């Protein structure tokens, strides 16, 4: 059985020893290593918040303060003023915000279920 190489892009198989040695696809006219390089996109930011889920302008967006999700952020002191750590829009109109303490706020109303991440004594 002779050696072969399959292009990761067009899935064509080549038995040419030069293509195998150079990891080259004659159909795409590209080297496999070049095709497999994935560019790391710049993070999408909005002030302090970084887009960590969904797509900007899509039906779902999740933004985290400093790129840290609410459940991974340091816990605030017990008696604190809640502030948004994670915010998300779902179905283009429902705004959900989470504080690092675990509190949740829907559509800008009052905070609910505060201190859900507090440790028991």
Give the pLDDT confidence of 50-108 residue by residue, as tens digits: 877 766 666 678 888 888 888 888 888 878 999 898 888 776 568 889 999 989 998 88
- Asked which of 4-18, 29-43, 71-85 is least confident by mean pLDDT, the reply is 29-43
Q: Judge if 52 and 20 occupy the same domain.
A: no
Q: Is residue 1 scored above 60 in pLDDT?
A: no
Report d(CA 117, CA 120) in Å as an integer.
Answer: 9
113 in any annotated domain: no
Q: Judge if 101 and 58 occupy the same domain.
A: yes
pLDDT at 44: 64
Q: How many domains does the chain have?
A: 2
Q: Is residue 39 scored above 50 in pLDDT?
A: no
Q: How many CA atoms lie within 13 A of 109 on its CB side?
A: 8
pLDDT at 12: 87
13: left (phi over 0), alpha (psi -120 to 50) or beta: beta
CB atoms within 10 A of CB 70: 20
Q: Which domain holds residue 52?
A: 45-106
Q: Judge if 56 and 101 occupy the same domain.
A: yes
Q: Judge if 28 and 55 occupy the same domain.
A: no
Q: Judge if 101 and 51 occupy the same domain.
A: yes
96 in any annotated domain: yes
Residue written as tokens 């996109």?
41
CB 61 within 8 A of CB 50: no
Mean pLDDT (the chain) is: 80
Partners of 54 in the beta sheet?
61
Q: Judge if 56 and 21 occupy the same domain.
A: no
């Amino acid at each position: 059985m002779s050696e072969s190489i399959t292009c990761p892009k067009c899935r064509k198989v080549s038995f040419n020893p030069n293509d195998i040695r150079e990891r080259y696809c004659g159909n795409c006219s590209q080297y496999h290593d070049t095709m497999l390089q994935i560019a790391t996109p710049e993070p999408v930011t909005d002030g302090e918040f970084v887009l960590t889920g969904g797509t900007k302008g899509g039906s779902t967006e999740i933004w985290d303060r400093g790129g840290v999700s609410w459940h991974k952020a340091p816990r605030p002191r017990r008696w604190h003023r809640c502030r948004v750590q994670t915010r998300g829009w779902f179905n283009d109109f429902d705004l959900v915000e989470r504080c690092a303490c675990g509190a949740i706020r829907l559509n800008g109303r009052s905070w609910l279920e505060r201190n859900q991440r507090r440790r028991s004594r």
